[in-house]
Amino acid sequence: MMRFEDEFHGVRRRSLLGLAVGGLMLPAFPLAAAVPDRTFRITMVLGRGESDNEYGFKDYLARHGLTVDYTIRDTGGDPARLPAIVEEIKDTRPDLVYSFGTPQTRGIVGPFDDADPRRHVTDIPVVFTFVAAPVDAKIVHDLGRPGRNVTGTIHIAPIAVQLNTILAYRPIRRLGIVYNPQERNSVLTIEGLRVEMALRGLELVEEPVPLNDRGEPVAAAVPDALARVAARGAEVLYIGPDTFIAFHNRSVVAAEALRLRLPTFSVTELIVRTDKAMLALASSAYGIGRFTAFKAAQILIDRTDPADIPVETLKRFSVIINMATVRALEYYPPIGLLNFAEIIES
């Protein structure tokens, strides 16, 4: 059985966050079986173009000697494109399907209690990534043993650890969130936040983005939703695993929050690195891609059934702080947090 080991670059420590945190996680392990002298075919189904996640996935397999012919299909966030992609997969029968995000993965494999072989991929191995809550989304029965042709990786820290990070930065009473009510990831995150916030005696200030007559979130309404969160007394804006907010509208969200002098916390790294959100607790997208590839290699090389491969997340997360935003807001972190955070100066 192949093993995945984290090579942790930086100081190892247990922190007040409840998890070890630090820099980039790099996998290293011996292959359990010889790599076949053949070309594997992998169809990658994306929702927002190629990213560090996919680069990490490809790099991992290449570095471990696998020759792969990739077919890239991108929904562009439009679920109406998935049926044709599923039909193509069923016709071409690749060795493996890589799926990015909850909407793509659910569309490909279907819910575990209602998968239809005529409409879903049920007999080809699928590995997913950037799915925040695969059990709640009914992608797998159980994280420890998926029980079907699907396994993968989770990219975010538990909600309790996220809140520990926010409160370690500075105590607050109200946490705000603007979200797309049409994204299942976002709805599940809201439900989890409500429970955890109530346990701590804190208030969650929620603002769903209005929908148009086609049931789609209105991008032009995002600034007003952010203004309402600020007006209702939110002390920090929570940016969850919401593709509409954290990816498609990330520049507007980060800039508008800064204009409103509203500190931001994200569960993914991109909006902090590229758009000046303030704080993140995140796994490296590149590292998550490599971890996902490790699971793919178990299927392709070890011939392990995905039904028996656990769905996991990396065990360490990085605290990432954008100091340019910190200075603009004059919202400084404690020295203890700076001791192990990754600092961005841009």
Q: What is the SS3 assignment for 93-162? A: CCCEEEEECHHHHHHHHCCCCCCCCCCCCCCCCEEEECCCCCCCCCCCCCCCCCCCCEEEECCCCCHHHH
pLDDT of residue 20: 38
Q: Are 190 and 206 in contact (CB under 8 A)?
A: yes
pLDDT of residue 30: 46
Nearest of 48, 104, 96 to residue 71 by alpha carbon:
96
pTM of the model as a whole:
0.79
Per-residue pLDDT of the chain (346 residues; tens, 9 = 90+): 455 544 322 222 333 344 433 333 444 444 556 788 899 999 999 998 999 999 999 999 999 999 999 999 999 888 899 999 999 999 999 999 999 999 999 999 999 999 999 999 999 999 999 998 899 889 999 999 999 999 999 999 999 999 999 999 999 999 999 999 998 889 989 999 999 999 999 999 999 999 999 999 999 999 999 999 999 999 999 999 998 999 899 999 999 999 999 999 999 999 999 999 999 999 888 999 999 999 999 999 999 999 999 999 888 889 999 999 999 999 999 999 998 899 999 8
pLDDT of residue 9: 29
pLDDT of residue 33: 66
Q: CB under 8 Å to 85, separation ≥6 — which residues?
A: 45, 73, 75, 108
pLDDT of residue 18: 40
Q: CB under 8 Å to 260, separation ≥6 — which residues?
A: 226, 227, 230
149-181 b/e (C-beta count within 10 Å ≥ 16 → b): bbbbbbbbbebbbbbbbbbbbeebeebbbbbbb
Which helix (H) or strand (E) is 239 found in, with range?
Answer: strand 236-239
pLDDT of residue 132: 87
